Each structure stands twice: as C-alpha cells, then as structure tokens.
Structure 1
Amino acid sequence: MNSLSFELHAVSPGIGDEQRFVKIATDVWPWLDYIHIREKHLTSEQKIQWAYSLLYAGIPADRIVINGLCELNELEKQVFFQRIHWGQSNMATIQGSSLKKSDRLRLGISVHSLHEARVAEERGADYLFYGHVFSSSSKPGSKPRGISALSEICSAVSIPVIAIGGIGPANIAAVRAAGASGAAVISSIWASDNPERAAAALRQAIER
C-alpha cells in the first residue's frame, strides 16, 4: 500500500479475543497500512506476544503497531517491532521535554485538542491520531469534534494527522479534504459481518 499518500490504520477493538483478532487481521492486512494492538488490559509482555502472533500469521512486522507500550528500552531490544502508539496517559508518564526515542521507532500519539497536538509534535511524535471526528460507536454519547476541528489541527502541525472516530468509505474524502494524512478505524472493520470486504471498501474509497 502507498502509505505516503493516505494511510489506513485499523485499531483493535479492545475486547481481548486474541484468536478472533488474529483471524480478522490475517484477512484484512493486505488492504491496510497498519494494524494496532490496542488492548489496554494487557501487560506489555502480552501485547508483544500478540504482535508475534500477527507476525507468525504472516503479517509483516512493519504493519504492526503496539499501543501503550512505554518501555522504549524494552521495545528497542525487539528485532521485529519498531512501531508504537501512545495515548495521553502514556505521555504523562514520560518526563522531560523530549521523547528521546530511537531513530528506528515510529511513534504516534493520540490527541484531542490543539494544545495536545502541539505538545506531542514538540516532544517528537512522528504522527498524531485526532478524534473522534464523527459520531462513533466506541464513544457513545460523546459529541464528535467534527471536520473543522480536524482541519484546524492539520493546519497547526507539520507532522501527519490521522483522523479517527466514525470513519467509513462515505466520509474518507471529507477527511482527506480537511488535510488529514490518513484514517483510523475500529468498528468499521472489527464489527463488520465481512471484515475483508469492509477493509477493501475503505481502500477503494481512498484510491478514488
């Protein structure tokens, strides 16, 4: 996939079903740029084990992102996995002004405001997740931030911004027009009756 133009990320649903996750990931990864292991209840060791399960299933290591892994020194020991993603809670545990990461790592950070976006960029993030942009089943009852807010974030930072929250084939074009460098989805794939077809539809919407 040509991730230089518009990246497609799939974030795990956080329900702890490793077997189902690996099965669906194996079906959909050819359509994706990145698959995130976002299972907050797992230990760092368990997250890395899930990553190996994806690797053993044939998914390339450079498509696998481990979320919430703050032990950078431990990750640097890993031969295969060099992509991680942090939430704001992870940011709060890191002292100092710089993330001091290895050049091999690609680090994304989730942000929800202009201030958080600027701080993340200043501290060395390679890209941002911003959302939720549209109404999302993973954020029931929470007001979406909207396209105009996404556009503001994209204009305020020089690193790529990935839109998340309620993303589907019908609004990919709007997200792209707002300046986003990619989209991240959860339920659009994991809750679909046909995840492979859903992933293909997202990729086709990107390529239109």
Structure 2
Amino acid sequence: MMFEDKSKVSDEQLRNNSLFELHVISGNRGEQEATLKAAKEIWPWVDYIHIREKQLPLHQRLNWARLMVESGVPVSRIVINGANRFTPEDACYQGVHWSQDMLHKAKMTVEPGNRHDLKRRLGVSVHSIHEARIAEEYGADYLFFGHVYASASKPDITPRGLEALAEVCSGVNVPVMAIGGIQPDNIQAVRSAGARGAAVISGVLQHENPAHAAALLKQSVETGK
C-alpha cells in the first residue's frame, strides 16, 4: 500500500486536514533508542508523541525530548507525561499530560485564578464522567478516556466500552481522546461515539513498522475506512 509522504506537511495543514487527533504514547519500557527511532519515522502521521516513561526521572524524559527534536521531530508534536506546566518558553516540548494523582496534587497547590493562565497544553487521563468533569473544571485542554477496547497494557481489566466513552464525550466541553485497543478498523467507531481523537501505545510503537502502522491509522481517520 502506498502513502503520501507527509514529512513536509506543516502542523497547521495537518490540523486542517482532520479535527481528529492521533496521539502515540511511549511504552514505559525505557527503550530509548527504539522509541527515538520510531518517533523520527512516525511524526509526520501523528499529532502528538508522548514521552510517558514514568519510571524515569523528569530530567531523563526531558533529555528524550531534546533528542527527538535533534532528530527532526517538531517541538509542537512532543508531550511529556508528568511534567509541570510551569516551564521555560524554550523547553523542547509542547504539552504535558497528567494522571489522576498528578491532577489531585496540582489542585492542592495551584490557585484557581491561575489555572487557565498556565502555558502548556494540558491533558488528563480520566476513567469516568465524574473524573472528566473535575479535570475540565480544573482547566484541562483535553482528556484521555479508556480503556475503550481490550488492551494489551491492561489485560486483566474489563474494557469500559463505547457507551461509557459516549457518556464522557457528551458530558464535557473539552475534546476527549479514546485510548485502549484502538486499531484502524475501530477508530471510526470511537469517532462516532464523540471522541475527538485516539491514543495508541503498542499498536504503533510495538509494530514491526511503526511508520506504516501510524499511516494506516491516519488513513483510516481521513477516509473513514
């Protein structure tokens, strides 16, 4: 299957092509070389690449981001999970993503009047409509909800399903990204449920050809097939 080379497509053009975001999340395995290689190959096809790696100290995650930028990945595509939104303008990542624990800690330390003045785009992982509304009230720019389908990263937990996804999507005013078991053949289903994007881990980064896997997801979004 042939795909158009999108390596020269601007961020603005990519956003205009689709309001449905694609996020790829690192596997939390500390596989720096493999992750950096994949990031260099997949960034033209995806909106954001998350450096998750919660077992690593923040300075090492920041170093991964710097190495990604040096390899050609645009700063605008890089998200660091667990980072603080109070960061220098020249930091080499565009956004941060928080767990429920991080959101709870931030609620204890950030004054409400400052919440919407923070610099970096903030995503928050949620697992219910209750958590989603709390994150929205705090000032999250988008939410991850899941896992929607059976997922290799959560093999012992029952998927929450499309109905729960639809409830969250309709219950908040910020974009919701579906996560968990997302594949080219079900990405339109989560979109129909109201999701404004999807996030994948092993479906891209553990694929034998990450760029091909990312391109298939993007094609499925754009063509509806």
TM-score (norm 1): 0.94
1:20 and 2:34 correspond: yes
Uncovered stretches (5+) of structure 2, i.e. residues with no partner: 1-13
CA distance in 1, matches of 2:27, 2:19: 26
- Residue 67 (structure 2) pairs with residue 53 (structure 1): yes
Q: Does the residue aligned with 1:139 lie in a helix, a strand or coil? A: coil
1:67-146 equivalences under 5 Å are 67-70=81-84, 72-73=85-86, 75-76=87-88, 78-94=90-106, 95=108, 98=112, 100=115, 102-146=117-161
Q: 2 CA distance for matches of 1:159 and 1:191? A: 30
| 1:102 CA drift (Å) | 4.0
Q: Give the Cα separation in 2 of the matches to 1:65 and 1:42.
A: 15
Of 79, 85, 90, the residue aligned with 1:65 is: 79
Kindly provide the CA deviation profile for residues 26-49 of structure 1, in whole angstroms up to 9, marking residues without a partner as x: 111110000000001111111111
Question: After TM superposition, what 4+ stretches of structure 1 lie above 6 angstroms from structure 2?
Answer: none
Whole-angstrom distance in 1 between the partners of 2:27 and 2:207:
12
Cα deviation for residue 100 of structure 1 reads 2.4
Distance apart, 1:76 and its partner CA? 3.3
Deviations 1:136-187 (A, max 9, x none): 0010111000000000000000000000000000001100000000000001
Question: Structure 1 stretch 145-154 or stretch 95-104: which is displaced more?
Answer: 95-104
* 1:39 matched residue in structure 2: 53
CA drift at 1:130: 0.3
Q: Which amino acid aligns with 2:181?
A: G
Give how far 1:191 is off: 1.3
CA contact (8 A) 2:77 2:93 kept: no
CA distance in 2: counterparts of 1:12 and 1:46, whole angstroms: 14
1:151 — aligned with what?
166
RMSD: 1.5
Distance 1:46 1:89 in 2: 21
- 1:101–1:67 Cα change, 3 Å: farther
Describe the shift of the 1:84–1:115 C-alpha distance in structure 2 as closer, same or farther (beyond 3 A): same
Structure 2 residue aligned with 1:174 = 189
How far apart in 2 are the matches of 1:39 and 1:138?
14
Whether contact under 8 Å (2:24, 2:48) holds in the other structure is yes
Q: 1:93: Cα distance to partner?
A: 1.3
- CA deviations over 1:46-90 (Å, ceiling 9, x no partner): 1111110110010000000000113x33x2354432310001111
Q: Measure the CA separation in 1 of the matches of 2:54 and 2:184.
A: 27
2:24 aligned counterpart, secondary structure: strand
CA distance in 2, matches of 1:142, 1:89: 19
Q: CA deviation at 1:17?
A: 1.2
Q: Which residue is equivalent to 1:2? A: 15
The normalised TM-score by structure 2 is: 0.87
